[in-house]
A = this chain, B = another copy of it.
Amino acid sequence: MQKLVQCVPNFSEGRRPEVVEQIVAAIRAVEGVSLLDYSLDASHNRSVVTFIGPPGRVGEAAVAAAARAAELINMEEHSGAHPRIGATDVIPFIPVAGVEMAECVELAREVGRELGEKLGIPVYLYEAAATRPERKNLAQVRQGQYEGLKTEITRPERAPDFGPPRLHPTAGATAVGARPPLIAYNINLGTSDLRIAQAIARSIRGSSGGYPSIKALGVMLEDRGLAQVSINVCNFREVSLPRIFETVRLEAARYGVNVVGSEIVGLVPLEALLDTAAFYLRLEGFAPQQVLEKRLLDLVE
């Protein structure tokens, strides 16, 4: 089986499609890398690109994209709703197949070094690639954002892992890291009472005593008149979709409220859904290789 790493860089440009397309073109130009998706968010003024390939090629594509972004995006002129520190704001590497997290950490460090040494962009390693415990959390790496980091970067505790101890004049700084696949998973409740969704969100998320790898918010789906528990599953091997679903169902029942449905936003690793089927069917001795298409994929690779 071929080694496969996914990379989901975020760029601080969500309003000029022609700029994002040039960055995407730099990724497409790397042989062996497959572009899976890209999207622009105008209010965040931010774009998210998803691509996949063997570790070396994915690293090469990430560096090429960051180089292009540094030419095309000027952080001095950037504004938007989402916190950010640079033109290429964040580059996470995600193990998909035949790769351990340690290899993605290694890849993050190599890419970080290149960004620092060749492009002169200060780089902060985060999550599994972090060199300091407080940098595991991306929000903490982004503290003060581009504007604040201009002066903060000279303080020892904000010193970058690679690159110069000052922001790149147009590209700012970049967070480079390694993390498990993230699943954006929302559960819709049969109630218009937002407080119930908020209470359930609090009960499962790490920040208020729930699962450390779960982020959750209660939000209102105005068009449907439903309250939703909006969840980021940051490590589905630690906390499975069935466990989340059943916990939310149980907590909702305490208010006499049903779960009316759930949704997966964007991409999801096959393993998370196979685990779900195996959980509910109480499958014994099931191997992913029993999935016809999985066999096929392995043959192709």
Contacts and interface: CB of A to CB of B under 8 A. Distances in A.
Interface of A: 4, 6, 34, 36, 52, 96-97, 181, 188, 241-242, 245, 259-264, 266-270, 273-274, 276-277, 279-286, 290-297, 299-301
19 contacts: A34-B296, A242-B280, A259-B282, A262-B284, A263-B283, A263-B286, A264-B283, A264-B290, A266-B290, A268-B291, A269-B291, A273-B273, A276-B277, A277-B277, A277-B280, A279-B280, A280-B280, A293-B297, A300-B300
B241 A299 contact: no
Contacts of A286: 263-264
Contacts of A295: 36, 267
A164 to B, nearest CB: 36
Given A277-B276, A297-B300, A299-B34, A292 B6 contact: yes
Given A261-B282, A268-B291, A276-B280, 17 more contacts: A6-B292, A34-B299, A36-B295, A36-B296, A96-B292, A245-B280, A260-B282, A262-B281, A262-B284, A264-B290, A267-B292, A270-B291, A270-B293, A276-B277, A277-B277, A293-B297, A296-B297
A92 to B, nearest CB: 14
Contacts of A281: 241-242, 245, 262, 276
Lowest 7 A-B CB distances belong to which pairs?
A276-B277, A261-B284, A273-B277, A280-B280, A270-B293, A261-B282, A34-B299
